[in-house]
């Protein structure tokens, strides 16, 4: 599998996905 | 006006200015210089970038990263521990602070030591230079990826509390 960080689009999409994951974590698990 | 307000106001100002320089140069490296170096290598003009542009950009890049972190820590002040422990309503900004801290580590421990080899500031064999190129590239791309959630949590961590149900 190709490393998404090798392409700029892959990097940006990975960043947006990570944002969504962390947002769900922050909203549901942090006080 | 309390002294602590003045410290917070100055810290926020410096945090923003240094942060703009840091992330601006990070985006310059990733969105401009990597592709430019590839083309410049093909027509023999890469030296102009590696000799005159990259060292200067890296100088401001690594020091603005440190200033950004220090000013951010000063801005958090007594809330520093709560932020890094993700507690007492400081969870969202704490996530931003953790991401920024990981990025600072990448700058000083992965990008800069490897760039010194790549740019010839530190002796290295061709094999070592090739490895250094890959590590520095991936650390830089990792920081570009992390900057996206980092800016989301930094910019919205405190003022957008409702978004997080706080």
Summarize pLDDT for B56-106 with one digit per residue, the tens: 999 999 999 999 999 999 999 999 999 999 999 888 999 999 999 999 999
Please tell me what DSSP assigns to residue B89: T
Q: Residue range B37-54: average pLDDT? A: 94
| pLDDT-derived band at B163, boundaries 50, 70, 90 | confident
Which of B36, B149, B153, B157 is the best residue to mutate to test the A interface, defined by the most A CB atoms within 10 Å of its own CB?
Answer: B149
Closest by CA to B64, choosing from B75, B53, B74, B72, is B72
pLDDT digits (tens, 9 = 90+) for B110-149: 999 999 999 999 999 999 999 999 999 999 999 999 999 9
In angstroms, what CA-CA distances link B33 with B70, B79, B101?
27, 38, 24
What's the pLDDT score for residue B5? Answer: 85
Contact status of B164 with chain A (Cβ, < 8 Å): yes
Could you give the CA distance from residue A22 to residue A19 in angstroms, rounded to a whole number?
5
What's the pLDDT score for residue A16? Answer: 98
Residue in chain B closest to A19 (alpha carbons) equals: B149
Q: Which two tokens stand for residue B98?
A: 């953790």
Pure H helices in chain B = 3-27, 34-42, 46-47, 54-76, 80-84, 91-105, 112-118, 126-156
pTM given for the model: 0.92
Residues of chain B with Cβ-Cβ distance to A8 below 8 Å are: 30-31
What's the pLDDT score for residue B157? Answer: 55
Q: Is the pLDDT of residue B151 over 60?
A: yes
For residues B6 and B162, the model is more confident at: B6
Residue B157 three-state SS = coil
Whether B29 and B140 have beta carbons less than 8 Å apart is answered as: yes
What's the pLDDT score for residue B35? Answer: 94
Could you give the CA distance from residue B59 to residue B56 in angstroms, rounded to a whole number?
5
Q: Is the pLDDT of residue A31 over 70?
A: no
Whether B54 and B115 have beta carbons less than 8 Å apart is answered as: yes
Q: How far is C-alpha A3 from the chain's CA centre?
A: 14
Q: Residue range B40-54: average pLDDT? A: 94
């Amino acid at each position: 599998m190709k490393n998404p960080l090798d392409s700029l689009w892959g990097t940006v999409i990975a960043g947006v996905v990570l944002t969504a994951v962390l947002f769900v974590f922050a909203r549901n698990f942090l006080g | 006006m309390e002294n602590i307000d003045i410290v917070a106001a100055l810290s926020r100002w410096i945090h923003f200015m240094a942060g703009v320089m840091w992330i601006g140069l990070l985006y310059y490296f990733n969105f401009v210089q990597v592709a430019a170096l590839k083309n410049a290598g093909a027509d023999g003009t890469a030296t102009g970038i590696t000799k005159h542009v990259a060292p200067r950009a890296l100088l401001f890049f690594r020091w603005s990263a440190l200033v950004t972190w220090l000013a951010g820590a000063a801005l958090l002040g007594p809330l520093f521990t709560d932020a890094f422990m993700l507690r007492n309503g400081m969870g969202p900004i704490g996530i931003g602070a953790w991401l920024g801290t990981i990025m600072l580590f990448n700058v000083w421990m992965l990008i800069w030591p490897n760039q010194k080899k790549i740019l010839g500031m530190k002796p290295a064999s061709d094999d070592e230079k090739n490895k250094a190129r890959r590590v520095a590239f991936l650390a830089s791309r990792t920081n570009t990826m992390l900057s996206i959630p980092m800016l989301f949590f930094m910019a919205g961590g405190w003022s957008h509390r409702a978004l997080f149900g706080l």
